[in-house]
Structure 1
Amino acid sequence: MKIIIVGAGIGGLAAAISLHEAGLTDVTVYERSAAIRGLGVGINLLPHAVRELTELGLADTIADLGVAPATLSYFNRHGQPIWSEPRGLAAGYHWPQLSVHRGRLQLALRDLAEARLAEPIRLGHRLIGVASNSDGSETARFSTDAGDVDATADLIIGADGIHSALRAARYPAEGAPPWSGLTLWRGVSRIPAFLDGRTMIMAGDGEQKFVAYPLSAADPTGRMLVNFIAERRVGGSGDADWNRAVDPAPIAELFRDWSFDWLDVPATIAAADEILEYPMVDRDPLPHWTFGRTTLLGDAAHAMYPNGSNGGSQAIIDARTLAFHLATADTIDEGLARYEAARRPRMTALLAGTRATGPERVMQLAHERAPHGFGDIDDIIPLSEREQIAADYKTAAGFLPTILNERPSLTPAR
């Protein structure tokens, strides 16, 4: 089976490695960029994704890239605690949660793919069209600096992100991703360690929010590398340039009153060497991912808001699920049908959950019920309600500890 993967991001590279490990070795990855430079900021890999990376033999490599948070804590915009829960091994999972730099993760996956695949990654190839052939194969046309080139395969996988060319070819009237009205500013700072040095924090509500988590252990001076996301509802159309670098000072000013006993938010923002601005957008759910011998994966299939820190993790699970079903089904068509049946309904439900703020709903409820703060959180949101919100999201995202720990492996029998 000859397979083409469009896109060398986390999902595309994970798919290439997963297919190879499942015995489907005739795989070629095409990437529109001229180089894979490992850009971006932080990403959280939740235990269900770390399980898949572990079974691919990547656990030690990825663990060396970042840190394993032990706690996730939610606060209101006044710095008052709303809800905390253990994460990773501390929560009873068999696998940790890992916070890593997205670029370093991508480069690690690239290196592994290059080492295992027979064909090198084809850089500088931008997908401009696909065509089905009478024998059931598919032909992809790419634009390159040397002119257009065609490549034919038994299967084409679109892992080319939220602005997927393959998705656009199948849904040409879809248009741009819908904007939430929120703008995100992402950055990395080296600051004094906060709380226990292994806690991921989220503070705020649906109008303004700040997220931060360590990307390194504290150094001898007590400082550590921290990834942060500042978020605020703003005016405009949401058509801002992606990855646009902006001055940290005006963003820090938006959070000037958010100086807590345990974290100085404006100082964290101001300490960033660079801040990248993004409109907070997602994609509406699709009725089909698969057309003929083409299918979608990751953000190309189900781009969602970052509520719950789940986008990259779900792309890795897509990759492993697709490889498993292609390797175990009698035909390509059967494998694609099984993949879509396993993943699309779940991602449709999860996308709806992220639009309802996912597990961050506890912050919104605290704001609605006590906008000026509270004396006792139990009087505002009972413990049982907070526990239920957390459990519901884990169930929807597929990483409730008992479910994940007991789920059969996605590694096909060889």
Structure 2
Amino acid sequence: MSEAPVLIAGAGIGGLTAALSLHAAGIDALVLESSRDIRPLGVGMNLLPHGVRELTELGLGDDLAELGVATAEHHFCDSAGNQLFTEPRGLAQGYHWPQYSLHRGELQLLLLERVRQRLGPDAVRTGMRLLDFTEHPGTVRVRVQDRARDADETLEGTALIGADGLHSTVRSRLHPQEGPLSWSGQRMWRGTTVMQQPFLTGRSMVVASDGTASLVAYPIGRDRVNWVCLVRIAEPGPLPADGAVTAADDHREGRLNDALAHYDGWSIDWLDVPELLKNSDHILEYPMVDREPLPAWGRGRVTLLGDAAHPMYPAGANGASQAVLDARVLAHELAQAGDDTPAGLAAYEHARLDATAGVVLAGRAMERAAGPAMLDRDRLAQIMDFYRKMADSEVAELNARPSLTVPRTGS
């Protein structure tokens, strides 16, 4: 067992999964979270079969089944509800693992609870804002601000994993010359609405479009439906430095009327879109952004994971699943490398860098090919097939791939 733990910046889905994965391989981990209180923020999300497999192998399969809805199909239609294309999902698609739709914050709290159960109550330190890091022979020193005490502290680890999200401090230190976020030109509004009457199969994800505005809606359990409105207002390009689209997180309060204006006249008889939006408990707004894939994530004993490494459009609903897969590969490669931590991190980056770049570019291509194509059955089928292949999530490949679980190297 290492004398110093692997330090993980960020207690999101990727960071917490990394802690569980490292612990399962017998490697000590300590999670540093900037927020002083981890609350179930955000709205709905999807966990694809490759993400579900990894969490199931960490012993969370029953938890996921209780927490989420096993998505049966993706149903594409126009703004009048006319079916354009359907695609089975999860088990119905032939995977050995389901696809789950669930609340992001509830999944985060589940992972947090399991980390504290397995690694100990002090395995996640909240209110610890990462300020900087320096590498030294055999260690990395991380300077953090303890927000509760308003005092700086230096911690030592065998490695530092930047799982600190879209606005990653670790990434900014590793790549200080990187430019602004890349904006798709689309604004997004998201919310959750309680609906007693399910639509379609009750386990359907609906993707509806009029060629300009789109809506995604799916159940996430406890009679809740997650919805996303997507409207293009500009051409793709760098995120503007000012204006209404600068908030790139999911905690900016949105205005109902701004979203409703784009769905006037929609008439789906099995889903009242205006009522769906009006009855949401709250609305979040943010731009759809990603970043150009990096030629390298880290160096030496420092690397990136999840959104800090490869922020991507929500097309394909793959962000959380890719973060989970990052975490599992990270633990696998570090365990395989033994005491040579830099070699383990290099192997992790080699395994995941190009794979995640493909997912980022596939999501970008999928979004930019949308619009009027969303009303063309044949084009829709081509787009979905292209994304699946680029995202490297084909059924047979996942079902046949060996497990990433490694024997524990310590106690």
Name the TM-score, length of structure 2 as normaliser: 0.90
Corresponding residue for residue 93 of structure 1: 95
2-side partners of 1:206 and 1:4: how far apart?
46
Q: Select which of 271, 277, 286 maps to 1:269.
A: 277
Tell me, yes or no, if the aligned pair for 1:197 and 1:214 is still in contact at 8 Å: yes
Verify: 1:128 aligned to 2:131, yes or no: yes
SS in 2 for 1:187: strand
Match of 2:355 in 1: 346
Q: Which residue of 2 aligns with 1:227?
A: 226
Distance in 1 separating the partners of 2:125 and 2:372: 45
Indicate how the Cα distance of structure 1 residues 366 and 254 shifts in structure 2: closer, same or farther if over 3 A, else same: closer
Give percent identity, aligned residues only: 46
Please state whether the residue corresponding to 2:309 is helix, strand or coil: helix
TM-score (ref. length: structure 1): 0.90
Give the aligned partner of residue 142 of structure 1: 144
Distance 1:413 1:47 in 2: 23
Q: Which residue of structure 1 lines up, in the alignment, with residue 41 of structure 2?
A: 39
Q: Distance in 2 between matches of 1:12 and 1:259?
A: 42
Corresponding position of 1:161: 165
- Which residue in the other structure is 2:337 paired with? 329
Q: Deviation digits for residues 45-87 of structure 1, max 9, x if unmatched?
A: 0001000011000010111112101111112344322211111
Higher mean alpha-carbon deviation, 155-164 vs 240-249, is at 240-249
Task: Name the aligned partner's letter for residue 200 of structure 2.
Answer: L
Q: How is 1:299-314 mapped onto 2 (pairs within 5 angstroms)?
A: 299-314=307-322
**Against the structure 1 CA distance between its residues 53 and 244, is the aligned structure 2 distance closer, same or farther, given a 3 Å change threshold?**
same
Per-residue CA deviations over 1:77-120 (Å, capped at 9, x if unaligned) read: 44322211111111111111111110110000000001111433
Conserved 8 A contact 1:247-1:274: no
Aligned partner of 1:403 in structure 2 is 397
Q: Which runs of 5+ in 2 are unaligned?
A: 235-242
d(CA) in 1 for partners of 2:6 and 2:304?
13
Contact 1:252–1:267 (8 Å) recurs in 2: no
Q: Which residue of 2 aligns with 1:289?
A: 297
- Aligned residue among 240, 247, 253 for 1:240: 247
The DSSP-based 3-state class of the residue aligned with 2:349 is helix
CA contact (8 A) 1:211 1:228 kept: yes
**CA drift at 1:10:** 0.4
* Pairwise CA RMSD: 1.9
Equivalent residues of 2:193, 2:279 under 8 A apart = yes
Moved over 4 A (4+): 360-364, 385-388
The alpha-carbon distance between structure 1 residues 175 and 366, as it changes in their structure 2 partners (threshold 3 A), is closer
CA shift, 1:294, in A, is 0.3
Matched, 1:170 2:174: yes
Distance change in 2, residues 1:166/1:177 (3 Å): same
CA shift at 1:19, angstroms? 0.5
User: 1:249 & 1:102 partners in 2: Cα distance?
Assistant: 25
Change (3 A) 1:241 1:386: closer
Q: Which runs of 5+ in 1 are unaligned?
A: 218-223, 370-376
Quote the residue 2:76 is aligned against: 74
The 5-angstrom pairing of residues 179-218 of structure 1 reads 179-191=183-195, 192-204=197-209, 207-216=212-221
SS of equivalent to 2:405: coil
Contact 1:74-1:363 within 8 A present in 2 as well: no
- Asked if structure 1 preserves the Cα contact closer than 8 Å seen for 2:362 and 2:391, the reply is no
Paired letter, 1:261: D
Cα displacement (A) at 1:248: 2.1
Per the alignment, residue 390 of structure 1 pairs with 384
- Is 1:75–1:204's contact at 8 Å kept on the other side of the alignment? yes
Q: Is this contact kept in 1: 2:209–2:374, CA < 8 A?
A: no
